[in-house]
């Protein structure tokens, strides 16, 4: 695949695989091999963050024969065994991004889990009790990880992966009381400095499928429960990254160089 070709992405998050979930992703993943070039997994891949759950997921993913890139979600941290979960998924062929970037088929991917904290003027500030400060620090640390991953991208076509949402638009549909736990505008700031073609995230199971950052970057919420309720016939997001514009030699007109 060259940089001049369209790259087809498939994306889904919040699969919440349990020990008893064998076969649960069969229908979800069915179109992937034929319809996409790269599969993106947007966190909460397991339900309790247990290695046994990751093993079940690894088996489900063995049906996928295209490259896989993902981030972990808060559920993958629940049992404190995220390192083992990450290792199992890595062995299964998923490139897990935790503040890192990777290039596949001429497209750069930057990813991090992200964190909560609220949006816009309601974003929680690090002031007052120590517990509030450490909560906000976690959001700042994840934002910094995300930013350094974005800053390392060298490709012209760029994709960002998160678990938490960087914008309020894609959590709309959830109860407003829980917006602050679904993501934070802090994650949007690096996207304004290091633009990408598209962002995928999960976590907001009852949010909205699509929104844009302040700078106009497309953001898709690909949480599986949301995709199942909106698109029950094909609950996976397919998105085509257009081919890079071919450079033209101005002296001759239409000849690509």
Q: Which residues bind Fe ion (CB under 5 A)?
A: 14, 44, 73-74, 203
CA nearest 228: which of 199, 246, 205, 196? 205
**How wide is the angle at C-alpha 154 spanned by C-alphas 152 and 160, nearest 5°?**
65
CA nearest 68: which of 87, 95, 47? 95
Pick the closer one to Fe ion by CB: 7 or 199: 199
CB of 224 to Fe ion, least distance (A): 8
Pick the closer one to Fe ion by CB: 107 or 199: 199
CB of 72 to Fe ion, least distance (A): 10
Pick the closer one to Fe ion by CB: 20 or 247: 20
**What is the spatial distance between Cα 139 and Cα 155, in angstroms, rounded to a whole number?**
27
CB of 165 to Fe ion, least distance (A): 10
CB of 223 to Fe ion, least distance (A): 6
Pick the closer one to Fe ion by CB: 70 or 108: 70
For the CA atoms of 225, 226, 227, 229, the dihedral, rounded to the nearest 10 degrees, stands at 80
The residue with its CB nearest to Fe ion is 44
CB of 202 to Fe ion, least distance (A): 6
User: Do 131 and 198 form a contact (C-beta atoms < 8 A)?
Assistant: no
Pick the closer one to Fe ion by CB: 74 or 81: 74
Alpha-carbon separation of residue 182 from 17, 58, 100, 210 (angstroms): 20, 27, 22, 15
Beta strands (DSSP E) in 149-217 are 157-161, 198-201, 210-212
- Bridge partners (DSSP) listed for residue 11: 40, 237
Pick the closer one to Fe ion by CB: 14 or 197: 14
CB of 169 to Fe ion, least distance (A): 18
Query: What sign does the CA torsion over 220, 226, 232, 235 have?
Result: positive
């Amino acid at each position: 695949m060259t940089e001049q070709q369209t790259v087809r992405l498939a994306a889904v998050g919040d699969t919440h695989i349990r020990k008893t979930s064998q076969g649960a992703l069969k229908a979800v993943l069915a179109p992937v091999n034929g319809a996409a070039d790269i599969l993106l997994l947007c966190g909460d891949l397991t339900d309790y963050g247990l290695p046994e759950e990751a093993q079940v997921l690894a088996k489900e993913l063995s049906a996928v024969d295209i490259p896989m890139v993902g981030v972990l979600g808060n559920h993958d941290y629940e049992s404190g065994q995220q390192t083992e979960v990450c290792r199992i998924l890595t062995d299964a062929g998923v490139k897990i991004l935790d503040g890192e970037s990777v290039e596949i088929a001429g497209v750069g991917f930057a990813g991090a889990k992200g964190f909560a904290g609220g949006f816009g003027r309601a974003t929680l500030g690090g002031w007052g009790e120590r517990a509030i400060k450490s909560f906000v620090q976690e959001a700042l640390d994840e934002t910094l990880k995300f930013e350094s991953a974005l800053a390392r991208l060298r490709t012209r076509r760029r994709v960002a992966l998160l678990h938490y949402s960087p914008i309020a638009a894609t959590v709309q549909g959830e109860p407003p009381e829980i917006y602050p736990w679904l993501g934070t505008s802090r994650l949007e700031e690096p996207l304004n400095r290091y633009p990408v073609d598209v962002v995928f995230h999960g976590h907001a199971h009852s949010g909205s499928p699509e929104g844009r950052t302040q700078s106009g970057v497309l953001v898709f919420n690909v949480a599986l429960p949301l995709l199942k309720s909106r698109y029950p016939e094909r609950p996976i997001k397919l998105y085509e990254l257009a081919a890079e514009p071919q450079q033209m030699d101005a002296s001759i007109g239409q000849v690509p160089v």
